[in-house]
Amino acid sequence: MSFDSSTINSLRIATRKSSLALWQANEVANKLKALYPKLNIILVKLVSEGDKFLETPLTKIGGKALFTKELERALLSGEADIAVHSMKDVPAIIPEGLSVPVICKRENPQDAFVSNNYKCLDDLPENAVVGTSSLRRQCQLLALRPDLTIRFLRGNINTRLNKLDAGLYDAIILATAGLIRLDMRHRITQILPPEISLPAAGQGAMGIEICSERQDILQLIQPLHDNETAFCVEAERTVSQCLNGSCHVPLASFSTLKKGILNLRALIGKPDASVILRAELSSNVINFKQTGQSVAKMLIEQGGQEILSQYSQNS
């Protein structure tokens, strides 16, 4: 390895305090310790604004950035050297002076149907209550099952599962990756294929954010970067960037990569599923950025801009 690890003796990792965030930070820490046994790693545990208001929809309190701002402040102030995020929570536009140069190998990116009484989505009775705070999930569920009652659900994974177990919901939708990482795979009743629930951009992938000027830190963490995941995630995020995607509009984008060919699917819709626009494109992986731009353009040409305008005005 060309990097001289002796130039950095200690590394401070900014992380949220939730069990999943801590798992992710520790995963990065363990991989770095395996590479650099003498490296002293300290977790800087922070409470994000998104963690403080768990009974309020993100659309009403500022969107995804609420999960990353505190960690980014720690980077910019010198309180931390790196921050570990779920890429699903990272806004499409990264603040000036910061970058996410390392994206780790992706876990299963699909959504999970979790229920104590029903084996799959199709088994839910008419007017069953399904918990989610995601407009993306709500839109796609209602497209398949307009009879369902979608009820707001936020909080960490344990909080959501506890509410399901208390009988407040017939089923809830969670990210498969989070359940796997917290050794809760047994709670997954059905993994929803992308044809039923197209994932969010970056879902299942972890990103490492740094101050752009810290080339020494970049060299330290570079071995954790997974090219295949990065190509897919960046294509997905390009769709969000081109559409100025936010929590106010149901927006999904998901890539797969096989034998150098990247396939990108995306959708944008209205929360009530009265309109859902879809686009798909395959191309050589080296064109991942252009593929994302082209898919976003396809959605706009179908009427996506009208949906974006309508819901950004209502937010």
Task: State CA 253 to chain mean position distance.
Answer: 11
On the 0-12 / 13-18 / 19+ scale of CB atoms within 10 A, 228 is middle
Strand-pair category, 276-284 with 251-258: unpaired
Continuous segment of H or E residues that includes residue 233: helix 227-242
Q: Reply yes or no on whether 89 is catalytic.
A: yes
Continuous segment of H or E residues that includes residue 206: strand 206-211
SS3 at position 203:
coil
Max Cα separation, the chain? 62
Catalytic residue of the set 89, 165, 170, 272: 89
Q: 239 and 201 in contact (C-beta within 8 Å)?
A: yes
Return the closest-CA partner of residue 104 out of 29, 43, 44.
29
Return the sign of the alpha-carbon dihedral for residues 123, 127, 130, 133.
Answer: positive
**Which residues are annotated as catalytic?**
89
